[in-house]
Amino acid sequence: MIQFANVFMTYPSGNKALQNINLNIDKGEMVYVSGRSGAGKSTLLKLINLIDRHTRGQIIVKGQNLERIKKNRVSIFRRNIGFIFQNHRLLNDRTIFDNVALPLIIAGNNHQEVKRRVQAALDKVDLLSKINSYPMELSGGEQQRIGVARAVVHRPAILLADEPTGNLDPTLSWEMMKLFEQFNQVGVTVLIASHELDMIEHMKKRIIILNKGRITNSTEEPLANLQKIKIEREII
C-alpha cells in the first residue's frame, strides 16, 4: 500500500528532514509514527500526500510511483487520501456543512451525493447536529472531529493524521484514537504521527520511531524496548 525505499528529504534551507527511510505499510494496517518535535513525522506524511516532494529514493502509494505523478494530476491522486491537520484548517466563514463538503465539491459530486455523504460523515463523528454551525462556535475537540469528517467524507483508502490530539485533553485524545481505530476496522489504512508515546503504546499497533530524520525502531518488539526509547528521548 505504502512503500518507502531509501528515501531522503532535504529542504532548500539545507535541513535534512528524512534520511534513508525504508518502510512498508500494508493495506488495512494502522501504524503510528512517533518521535520528538523535528524528528521528521510531519514530513513523512506530507511526502505521502504530495504536499512536499522527496529529494531522493522511491515512494510507492497504491501502486503509483510518486515521482511520476505530474503536478496537474496531484488533485486526482489525493482523492485516495484523507489528511487531518493538527490545526484543523477549517474555513471560519463557512458552515460546517460547507467545510466538510469541500472535497466532494472539488471532485465534482452532485448536490444530492454531497448532502448524503456530508451527513453520513458528520454522523460518524457525532456532530450531525452542528451541520449549520460555524467553526468558531465549536470547541477545539469538536473542530478536530470536523477535520476528521472532512478527511473521510470522500471515502479515502488511506487516512493520514498529523498530531491529531496535540491540542486535546487526555479524554478527548483517547476518543480520537478510538475513532481512527473504527475507520481502520472497515479497511482504511491509517497512519498517525504523534509524539504522545504514553498513549499510543496502549493502542497495540505498530509504532515507528523517528529520530533526527531516521527510523530508529519499529515496535513489533517488546514494550520494554519502547520504554527504553521513551527514556532516551526524555534524556536527550
pLDDT tens profile 171-193: 888 888 999 999 999 999 999 99
User: What tens digit of pLDDT does each residue of 122-178 get?
Assistant: 999 999 999 999 999 999 889 999 999 999 999 999 999 999 988 788 888 888 899
Q: Which fold has domain 2-88+156-235?
A: Rossmann fold (3.40.50)
In the block, cell 505521502 appears at 48
Q: What residue ranges do the domains of the chain occupy?
A: 2-88+156-235
Q: Are 77 and 28 in contact (CB under 8 A)?
A: no
Highest-pLDDT range among 2-11, 88-97, 168-177, 221-230: 2-11
User: What tens digit of pLDDT does each residue of 60-113 get?
Assistant: 999 999 999 999 999 899 999 999 988 778 999 999 999 999 999 988 999 999
* Cα–Cα distance, 98 to 105 (Å, whole number): 9
Q: What does pTM read for this prediction?
A: 0.87
If we measure between CA atoms, which residue out of 183, 232, 186, 190 comes closest to residue 211? 232
If we measure between CA atoms, which residue out of 166, 100, 158, 176 comes closest to residue 134? 100
* Cα–Cα distance, 236 to 215 (Å, whole number): 16
pLDDT tier, 201 (very low <50, low <70, confident <90, very high otherwise): confident
Reading the block at residue 76, the C-alpha cell is 486526482
Instruction: Tell the burial category of 122 from Cβ atoms under 10 Å away from its Cβ (0-12, 13-18, 19+).
Output: buried
